[in-house]
Structure 1
Amino acid sequence: GNSKNTRKVEEFKAKDNFKIDYINIDRIKRNEKNFYEIVDIESLAEDIKLNGLNHNLVVRKLDNDMYELISGERRYTALNKLINEGNKEFNLVPCKVIESNDIDSEIILIQANAQSRELTEVEKLTQVERLKELYKIKKKNGEKVPGKIRDIIANDLKLSPTQVGRYERINNKLIPELKAVIEQDKLTIAKASEFSSLSEENQRVILSIIDDKTNMSKQEAVDLKNKLKKIEEEKELELKKAYEEKELELKRLEEEKKNQVLKLKSENENLKKKLDNNIEEERKEIEGQIKIEFEEKLKNEKVILEEELKSKYDKKIEDITN
Structure 2
Amino acid sequence: MAKRFSISESMLNGISKNTEKVSTIEAKENFKLEYIDIDKIVRNKKNFYEISNIEDLVEDISINGLNHNLVVRPIGNEQYELISGERRYTALKELISKGNEKFRKVPCKTLELNDLDSEIVLIQANAQSRELSESDKLKQVQRLTELYNMKKKKGEKIGKVRDIISKDTGLSPTQVGRYTTINKSLIPELKSVLEQGNLTIANASEFAVLSEENQNIILDIIKNNVSINKNEANELKNKLKKIEQEKESLIKKEEEHLNEIKKLTLKNEEINRDLDKKIDDINKIANNKAKEIAIEFKNDKNKIKKGNVELKKEINEIKKDESKLELNQELKIRLKGIRKEIGKVAGLMANNTIIDDGTLKEVNFLKEQLRFLNEQVDLYTNQIKHD
TM-score normalised by structure 2 residue count? 0.64
CA 1:272/1:217 → structure 2, altered by over 3 Å: closer, same or farther? same
User: Match of 1:225?
Assistant: 237
User: Match of 1:169?
Assistant: 181
Mark the runs of 5 or more structure 2 residues left unpaired by the alignment. Answer: 1-10, 288-387
User: Match of 1:31?
Assistant: 44
Q: SS of the counterpart of 2:106?
A: strand
User: Match of 2:281?
Assistant: 269
Matched, 1:65 2:78: yes
Between structure 1 and structure 2, the one with the greater Rg is 2
Q: SS of the counterpart of 2:25?
A: helix
Alignment equivalent of 1:107, drawn from 120, 128, 131:
120
* Deviation for aligned residue 1:8: 7.1
Q: SS of the counterpart of 1:54?
A: coil
Write the letter of the residue equivalent to 1:110: I
Structure-2 separation of matches of 1:274 and 1:188: 83
Write the letter of the residue equivalent to 1:206: I
User: Match of 1:126?
Assistant: 139
Q: SS of the counterpart of 2:83?
A: strand
Matched, 1:181 2:181: no
* Deviation for aligned residue 1:104: 0.8
User: Match of 1:116?
Assistant: 129
CA 1:101/1:257 → structure 2, altered by over 3 Å: closer, same or farther? closer
Is contact 2:34–2:108 with CA below 8 Å preserved after alignment? yes
Q: SS of the counterpart of 1:69?
A: strand
Matches within 5 A, 1:1-322: 4-5=14-15, 7=19, 10=22, 13=25, 16-142=29-155, 144-213=156-225, 215-252=227-264, 254-272=266-284
Relative contact order (C-alpha < 8 Å, sep 6+): which is higher?
A: 1
Q: SS of the counterpart of 2:31?
A: coil
Is contact 1:135–1:145 with CA below 8 Å preserved after alignment? no
Question: Residue deviations 1:164-195, cap 9 Å, x none?
Answer: 22211111111222222222222222111111
Q: SS of the counterpart of 1:60?
A: strand
Write the letter of the residue equivalent to 2:181: R
Write the letter of the residue equivalent to 1:172: K
Q: SS of the counterpart of 1:17?
A: coil
Aligned length: 273
Quick one: percent identity of the two aligned structures?
A: 56
Question: Residue deviations 1:58-97, cap 9 Å, x none?
Answer: 1112211121111111111111222222322222211111
Mark the runs of 5 or more structure 1 residues left unpaired by the alignment. Answer: 276-322
CA 1:110/1:10 → structure 2, altered by over 3 Å: closer, same or farther? closer
* Deviation for aligned residue 1:13: 3.1
Write the letter of the residue equivalent to 2:60: D
Tell me whether 64-73 or 179-188 shows the greater mean CA deviation: 179-188
* Deviation for aligned residue 1:21: 1.3
